[in-house]
C-alpha cells in the first residue's frame, strides 16, 4: 500500500481505536485513566487492606521508578530505571554545575526499562531495555529517571523519558518500533512530564531551565512532526522557567486543542500542527508544576505550582480565547493533579490538606488535613476519592461537599505513582512493588 494511503488510513482509524479501547472498563491506557482525568469506571473496589489482608498479589519490581502503570487486556505495563552510581569524582564534577540547592541523585549511567506484569497472576512477563543513558542529568531525590507514565494504544506502548528519549514498543512482538533521542533540555530535577496521545501525534512538554518548548512526535515513525517554542514572558532566572506539567486535549469551539500549562503561562495548541492558538499569562513565579489540567464542558482547571501557588479556572465555553474566571490561592497542589466530580473540584496539597471547591466560584466547601506528604495524583471511583501518600498510606474519602474519611490503609514503602483500577480491583505501585488489592 502506498505510504500516503497508509498514513491517511492510520490517521483516520487511530483516534477511533484509541477512543474504543479507552472506553473499555478493564483498560487504563494512560496516566490518569480512560478519561485522562483520574476517573475509574469501577464499583465495589476494596476499602480496607494491609500487607497481610485483601492483597491478591504483590510483585517486587526491579529498579526504581515513579511512573503510573497502564493496563491493556491481561497486561500491565510500567517503566523503571536501573541505576549505576557515578564515581565520587564524576559526582563532584557534575554537581559543581548545578545552580540549584536541591538534594540530588547523580548517576554514572541509567538503563530505562519497560516491565510487563500479568494482571491475573502478578508474574513479571517481560523486562525490556528501551534506552541506556551514560552520564544522565542529575535528578531530585523525590524524582526518578522513570517518572513519566507510558501510554498504551493500538498494540503499542509509548514510553517517554524527557530528554533521555522516547520509544515505541510493539506489545505483541516486543520489538522496539522506533526511538527518538534528539530533543534535549536541562530538566534540573530529572524528567517529569508525561506524554499524551492524540490521533497520530504523541505530544510532550520540554520545559527546561535552558529552553522551553512543546513537541509532537509522529507515532508512525517517531520523527518530530512539530516543535513549538514557548512564547510567553518568563522569569529571567533559569530555575524559574522549568516545569514538569502534562498537557490535556480539550475540544474547544469544536476543535481539539492541547491545553498546556508551563512556567507563568498556560497555552492552547493545535495538536496536529503545533500552532499556538492562544496563551494566558497567569502571573509571575509559577514554575516547576508536575500536574495536568482537568476540564468539564465549561472550564479548565490547573495549578500553578511553586512560587505564588494557585488553582486557576479558565472559562472556554462560548469564547474564542479562554478567560480566567477565578483563582484560589490556598493550599494549591504543586505535584498532585486535581479531580472533578459533580461540580466539585478536589485536590490535595503536598502537605496533606484536601480541598473541595465549587467549580463555578472557586469557593471552598472545606479544607481538611488527612496527614502525610503527597506526590501521587488522586483517583475517583464510585463516588470515592483515593489519595496515596509518600508514607504508603491510602486515604479514602467520599467525593462530596461534606468531608468524611472512609478508610486509611498502609502498605510498605512510599507511594509516588497514582493508583489505577479495573472493574473490581485496585492496583498500587510503591517504591519497590506493584500490588493488586482485591480479588
pLDDT tens for 298-353 read 999 999 978 788 999 999 999 999 999 999 999 999 999 999 999 999 999 999 99
Percent of the chain with pLDDT over 90: 80
Q: How confident is the model at residue 407 (pLDDT cuts 50, 70, 90)?
A: very high
Q: Residue 92: its pLDDT value, please?
A: 73
pLDDT digits (tens, 9 = 90+) for 171-182: 999 999 999 999
Q: How confident is the model at residue 18 (pLDDT cuts 50, 70, 90)?
A: very low
Q: Residue 23: its pLDDT value, please?
A: 38
Q: Nearest 5 degrees, angle CA 181-CA 70-CA 154?
A: 70
Exposure class string for 254-291: b at 16+ Cβ within 10 A, else e: eeebbbbbbbbbbbbbbbbebebbbbbebeeebbbbbb
pLDDT digits (tens, 9 = 90+) for 270-284: 999 999 999 999 987
Distance CA 264, CA 353 (A): 24
Q: How confident is the model at residue 3 (pLDDT cuts 50, 70, 90)?
A: very low
Per the prediction, the chain carries an average pLDDT of: 91
Q: Residue 2: its pLDDT value, please?
A: 41
Distance CA 38, CA 419 (A): 9
Distance CA 367, CA 386 (A): 16
Q: What is the SS3 assignment for 108?
A: strand
Q: Residue 424: its pLDDT value, please?
A: 87
Percent of the chain with pLDDT over 70: 91
Q: How far is CA 154 from CA 28, 249, 315, 335, in A?
A: 13, 19, 33, 30
Per DSSP, the residues of 165-210 read -EEEEETTT--EEEEE-------SS---PPPEEETTEEEEEEE-SS
pLDDT digits (tens, 9 = 90+) for 147-169: 999 999 999 999 999 999 999 99
What cell was used for 29? 491506557
Residue 47 reports pLDDT greater than 60 = yes
pLDDT digits (tens, 9 = 90+) for 357-372: 999 999 999 999 999 9
Q: Residue 9: its pLDDT value, please?
A: 36
Q: Would you give the end-to-end CA distance of the chain in angstroms?
A: 47
Q: Residue 305: its pLDDT value, please?
A: 79
Pick from 20-29, 211-220, 299-308: least confident: 20-29
Q: How confident is the model at residue 5 (pLDDT cuts 50, 70, 90)?
A: very low
Q: What is the SS3 assignment for 408?
A: strand
Distance CA 245, CA 290 (A): 5
Q: How confident is the model at residue 409 (pLDDT cuts 50, 70, 90)?
A: very high
Across 293-338, the runs of DSSP E, i.e. the strands, are: 294-295, 299-303, 306-307, 311-315, 323-328
Q: Residue 7: its pLDDT value, please?
A: 38
| φ/ψ bin of 131: left (φ > 0), alpha (ψ from -120 to 50), beta (otherwise) | beta
pLDDT digits (tens, 9 = 90+) for 70-126: 999 999 999 999 998 877 777 777 666 665 555 667 788 999 999 999 999 999 999
Rg (CA), the chain: 20
Q: Nearest 5 degrees, angle CA 389-CA 151-CA 418?
A: 10
pLDDT digits (tens, 9 = 90+) for 120-153: 999 999 999 999 999 999 888 899 999 999 999 9
Average pLDDT over residues 23-50: 88
Q: Which long-range contacts (CB under 8 A, 24 or more apart) does 8-16 make?
A: 10/200, 10/220, 11/199, 11/200, 14/153, 14/154, 14/199, 14/200, 14/219, 15/198, 15/199
Q: What is the SS3 assignment for 393?
A: strand
pTM of the predicted model, to two decimals?
0.91
Amino acid at each position: 500500500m502506498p505510504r500516503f494511503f497508509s498514513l491517511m488510513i492510520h490517521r483516520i482509524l487511530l483516534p477511533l481505536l484509541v477512543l474504543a479501547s479507552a472506553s473499555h472498563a478493564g483498560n487504563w491506557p494512560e496516566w490518569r485513566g480512560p478519561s485522562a482525568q483520574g476517573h475509574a469506571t469501577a464499583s465495589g473496589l476494596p476499602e480496607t487492606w494491609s500487607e497481610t489482608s485483601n492483597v491478591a498479589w504483590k510483585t517486587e519490581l526491579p529498579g526504581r521508578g515513579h511512573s503510573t502503570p497502564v493496563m491493556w487486556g491481561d497486561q500491565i505495563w510500567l517503566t523503571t530505571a536501573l541505576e549505576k552510581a557515578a564515581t565520587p569524582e564524576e559526582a563532584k564534577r557534575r554537581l559543581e554545575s548545578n545552580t540549584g540547592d536541591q538534594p540530588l541523585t547523580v548517576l554514572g549511567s541509567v538503563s530505562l526499562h519497560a516491565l510487563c506484569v500479568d494482571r491475573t497472576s502478578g508474574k513479571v512477563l517481560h523486562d525490556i531495555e528501551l534506552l541506556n543513558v551514560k552520564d544522565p542529568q542529575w535528578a531530585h531525590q523525590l524524582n526518578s529517571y522513570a517518572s513519566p507514565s507510558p501510554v498504551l494504544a493500538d498494540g503499542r506502548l509509548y514510553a517517554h523519558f524527557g530528554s533521555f528519549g522516547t520509544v515505541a514498543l510493539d506489545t505483541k512482538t516486543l520489538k522496539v518500533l522506533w526511538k527518538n533521542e534528539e530533543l534535549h533540555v536541562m530538566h534540573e530535577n530529572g524528567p517529569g512530564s508525561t506524554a499524551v496521545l492524540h490521533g497520530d501525534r504523541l505530544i510532550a512538554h520540554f520545559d527546561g531551565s535552558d529552553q522551553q518548548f512543546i513537541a509532537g512526535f509522529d507515532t508512525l515513525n517517531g520523527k518530530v512532526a512539530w516543535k513549538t517554542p514557548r512564547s510567553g514572558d518568563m522569569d529571567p532566572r533559569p530555575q524559574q522557567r522549568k516545569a514538569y506539567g502534562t498537557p490535556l486535549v480539550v475540544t474547544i469551539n469544536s476543535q481539539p486543542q492541547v491545553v498546556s500549562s508551563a512556567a507563568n503561562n498556560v497555552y492552547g495548541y493545535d495538536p496536529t500542527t503545533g500552532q499556538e492558538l492562544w496563551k494566558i499569562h497567569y502571573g509571575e513565579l509559577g514554575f516547576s508544576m508536575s500536574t495536568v489540567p482537568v476540564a468539564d464542558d465549561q472550564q479548565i482547571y490547573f495549578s500553578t505550582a511553586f512560587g505564588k501557588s494557585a488553582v486557576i479556572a479558565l472559562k472556554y465555553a462560548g469564547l474564542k480565547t479562554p478567560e480566567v474566571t477565578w483563582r484560589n490561592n490556598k493550599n494549591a497542589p504543586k505535584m498532585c493533579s486535581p479531580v472533578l466530580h459533580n461540580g466539585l473540584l478536589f485536590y490535595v496539597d503536598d502537605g496533606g490538606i484536601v480541598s473541595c471547591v465549587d467549580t463555578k466560584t472557586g469557593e471552598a466547601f472545606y479544607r481538611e488535613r488527612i496527614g502525610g506528604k503527597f506526590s501521587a495524583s488522586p483517583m475517583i471511583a464510585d463516588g470515592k476519592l483515593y489519595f496515596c501518600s509518600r508514607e504508603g498510606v491510602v486515604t479514602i474519602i467520599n467525593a462530596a461537599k461534606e468531608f468524611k474519611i472512609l478508610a486509611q490503609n498502609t502498605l510498605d514503602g512510599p507511594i509516588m505513582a497514582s493508583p489505577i483500577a479495573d472493574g473490581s480491583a485496585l492496583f498500587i505501585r510503591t517504591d519497590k512493588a506493584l500490588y493488586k488489592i482485591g480479588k
